[in-house]
Chains A and B, each alone.
Chain A
Amino acid sequence: MGKKLLMKGNEALAEAAIRAGVKGYFGYPITPQSELLEYMATNLDSRGGVFVQAESEVAAINMVYGASGTGVRVMTSTSSPGFSLMQEGISYMACAELPCLLVNVVRGGPGLGTIQPSQGDYFQAVKGGGHGDYKLIVLAPNSVQEMADFVYLGFDLTDKYRNPVLILTDGALGQMMESVEFPEYNPEEHLVDHSSWTTVGRENGREQHYITSLHLLSEKMEEINIHLQDKYKTIQKNETRFESIMTEDADILIVAFGLSSRSSQKALELAREQGLKVGILRPITLFPFPSDELKRLANSVKGILVVEMNAGQMVEDVRLSVGSNIPVDFYGRMGGMIPQPDEIVQKIKDLSKQVKI
Chain B
Amino acid sequence: METTREGIVCNNLDQMDVVFDRTEVLHDTPTSYCPGCSHSVVHRLIMEVIDELGILENTIGVAPVGCSVFAYHFMNVDMQQAAHGRATAVATGIKRVLPDKIVFSYQGDGDLAAIGTAETIHTINRGENIVMIFINNGIYGMTGGQMAPTTLEGDVTSTTPHGRDVHIQGHAIKITEMIAIMDGAYYVTRQAVNSAKTVRKCKKAIKQAFQYQIDGKGGTSYVEVVSNCPSGWKMTPIEANKKIDEEVLGYYPLGDLKTPPKGA
Contacts and interface: CB of A to CB of B under 8 A. Distances in A.
A326 to B, nearest CB: 44
Contacts of B93: 24, 26, 52, 62-69, 74
B60 interface: yes
Interface stretch (B82-90, B159-167, B230-238): B82-90
B59 interface: yes
Given A72-B97, A200-B78, A212-B72, A63 B89 contact: yes
Contact of A24 (B63, B96, B119, B122): B96
Given A24-B97, A55-B122, A70-B98, A65 B82 contact: yes
A59 B81 CA distance: 15
Contacts of A24: 93, 96-97
Contact of A209 (B78, B89, B119, B122): B78
Interface string A279-303: 0000000000000000000000000
A62 to B, nearest CB: 4
Contact residues of A: prevailing secondary structure: mixed
Given A63-B89, A70-B94, A212 B81 contact: yes
Contacts of A214: 69-70, 81
Contact of A208 (B76, B91, B96): B76
Interface in B46-88: 56-60, 62-63, 69-70, 72, 76-83, 86
Nearest to B91: A66
Interface in A40-93: 50, 52, 54-56, 58-60, 62-70, 72, 74, 88-89, 92
A204 B57 CA distance: 7
Contacts of B81: 96, 210-214
B43 to A, nearest CB: 14
Contacts of A54: 89, 122
A67 B60 CA distance: 11
Contact of A211 (B80, B86, B92, B97): B80
21 contacts: A24-B97, A26-B93, A52-B92, A52-B126, A56-B118, A59-B122, A62-B82, A62-B89, A63-B89, A65-B86, A65-B90, A66-B62, A66-B91, A67-B94, A89-B86, A199-B80, A199-B94, A200-B60, A210-B78, A210-B81, A214-B81
Contact of B72 (A72, A89, A204, A210): A210
For the side of the interface on A, what is the size category?
Answer: 35 or more
B101 interface: yes
Contact of A199 (B78, B83, B126): B78
- The 6 closest A-B CB pairs, nearest first, are A66-B93, A66-B90, A63-B93, A62-B89, A67-B93, A62-B86
A58 B115 CA distance: 11
B133 to A, nearest CB: 16
A99 to B, nearest CB: 13
Contact of A200 (B63, B89, B101): B101
B224 to A, nearest CB: 21
B90 A63 contact: yes
Contacts of B90: 62-63, 65-66, 69
B86 A50 contact: no
A305 B56 CA distance: 60
Interface residues of B, number: 35
Contact of B56 (A66, A72, A201, A211): A201
Contacts of A208: 72, 76-79
Query: Residue among A24, A59, A96 with the most chain B CB within 10 A?
Result: A59
A96 B60 CA distance: 17
Contacts of B121: 55
B240 to A, nearest CB: 26
Interface in A185-206: 199-205
A19 interface: no
Contacts of B79: 199, 208, 210-211
Nearest to B102: A201
Contact of B78 (A55, A64, A201): A201
A23 interface: yes
B57 A59 contact: no
A340 B80 CA distance: 49
Nearest to A206: B57
A69 B94 contact: yes
B80 A66 contact: yes
A200 B81 CA distance: 14
Nearest to A213: B81
B46 to A, nearest CB: 15
A212 B58 CA distance: 20
Interface in B101-152: 101-102, 118-119, 121-122, 126
Nearest to B119: A59
Given A72-B97, A208-B72, A214-B69, A65 B60 contact: no
B96 A199 contact: no
Contacts of B72: 208, 210, 212
Contact of A65 (B56, B59, B70, B80): B80
